[in-house]
Amino acid sequence: MFLIENALLINGINNYYMKRLSLLVILLGLCFWAHSQSLRTAVATDNLNELKAYVKEYGVNYPQEKLYPLVAAAKYGRYEFIKYLMDNGADINAREYKKRTALMYAIKNNHIDIATYLLTFKPDLSPKDYKGNTALEIAYKAKNFDAIKGHLPENPFVGTDGPYIFKARKKYNVISILKDKDGKPYKEHQSIEKTDEPFFAACRAPNGDTLFLFEVHSKFKPEKEHTFEDVSQIVAISDIEGNYNEFVKLLLESKVMNESYEWIFGEGHLVLLGDFFDRGGQVTECLWLAYHLEQQANKAGGKSHFLIGNHEEMNLSGDTRYVNFKYISNADFIDINYKSLYNNKSILGKWLRSKNAVIKINGNLFIHGGISPEFLEKRYSINTINNVVQNNIANNYALRKENQQAYDVFNPKYGPLWYRGLIKGSVDQDDIQQTLRFYKANRIIIGHSTVKEITTFYENRVIDIDVKHSLGDDVSSALLIKNGHYYIIRIDYKKLLF
């Protein structure tokens, strides 16, 4: 009996202490909660005194849950908090767990008064958030770039560019962006009297040096020829995306041109399979080089074919989702809307509008994305596809929707500029054979869908040549077709595919 009573007593004591301990844990938890939520509570309830207490205890740059006071204040739009924090030494370039600064949040959440105030402290505009966007890119996408650009001491993304050449009534306007000896950008505007003869313009490197001269022609007839036979050799390159240096290296390695930018490929054909726009920072140079080589090839009895990809279509129709911010900044710097850089008065714009989307050489069907079973059911000929692209490439979605052919050709799910099913396994061997039979081709050569190296599919009936040129010489590749064989070409590298 004594043992039982003693056990009950001990158990009661344990329960007493356990309850006290539990209460202590709860109180400690409440204290921790109050501490951990103090910064968030301050900004959420607009309580400046609580923020001051937080700063007094922990410091102006002490993060709570990876959120710095200045960043939190900007996120919630607390202007008085921002002023207090900056007056007390807040780090304007502090970044939270999404890699965003206070300026990024002020812009993203449209707190323009805070954004313009923060800009007076000259924050670093180069950092990118977890989505890869700088503060100014966020501003452009949030459609408030115009509201803040006047408060910038300068736009650091403006770079050497051009020329952009526009045809006027009696002259050409040639506009370039250059930099002075102090590295400050300026706009160079030349007016050239219009004549029947072509004139020469210079394509420049980022440092302003001339890369090559090219002839400027004012008229471009839509390309109608799309099928070629008995071509001695073909080089195909796709998805350069503004990587000019790799583009040049591949052209040299493939012996398409020499170091003086002269065509040395004889009667061979060069096929540029689309997506020369976006992402990279030397799109203009890539386009002018393609333009220049086309003229050089024609004089030598060869051909250079620039095909339209989905990114050419996007840029001409005004979709700037993937445009390198340099070009948005440059367009603003020369006081022109980005889409207008490639309008129908622009030499590059007129040239691009004349281009095909599909060609066939020696039985090889070249197309940026691919032919889907759904699209094949429409029974559109090569000629029809090219006509639709040339006549509708700059139209918006609403206009295309009114035209069934344009709706089909530019369809982002099954259209030939966008389709990815040939690589994703959405089709089988029979689908490929049906496509080849309809277009009287032996194989299809595509870009658009990235592969680690140029790769064949469906028993060599499909060849994907879209590699990440941005990764450099070990990846950047061209396809060479010669004497019935298909080769991968890289710097100091040549591999037989089949």
Exposure string of 85-122, with b = 16+ CB inside 10 Å and e = fewer, is bbeeebbbebbbeeebbbbbbbbbeebbebbbbbbeee
H/E run at residue 211 = strand 210-216
Q: What DSSP string runs through 314-329?
A: HHHTT--TT--HHHHH
Nearest Cα neighbor of 390 from 222, 272, 217 is: 222
Quick one: pLDDT at residue 20?
Answer: 55
Mean of all residue pLDDT scores within the chain: 92
3-state SS, residue 292: helix
Inter-residue contact 457 to 448 (CB < 8 Å): no
**Looking at domain 41-149, which CATH architecture does it have?**
Alpha Horseshoe (1.25)
Q: What is the pLDDT of residues 439-483, one digit of tens each?
A: 999 999 999 999 999 999 999 999 999 999 999 999 999 999 999
Q: What percent of the chain has pLDDT over 70?
A: 93
| Confidence band for 15, pLDDT divided at 50, 70 and 90 | low
pTM for the complete prediction? 0.88
Q: What is the pLDDT of residues 47-57, one digit of tens each?
A: 999 999 999 99
| Confidence band for 65, pLDDT divided at 50, 70 and 90 | confident
Quick one: pLDDT at residue 14?
Answer: 53
| Confidence band for 218, pLDDT divided at 50, 70 and 90 | confident
Mean pLDDT throughout 328-346? 96
Inter-residue contact 486 to 463 (CB < 8 Å): yes
Quick one: pLDDT at residue 217?
Answer: 87
- Considering only residues 34 and 398, tell me which one the structure prediction assigns the higher pLDDT: 398
3-state SS, residue 429: helix
Q: What is the pLDDT of residues 414-446, one digit of tens each?
A: 999 999 999 988 899 999 999 999 999 999 999
| Domain covering 227-496 assigned CATH 3.40.640.10 in the classification | no
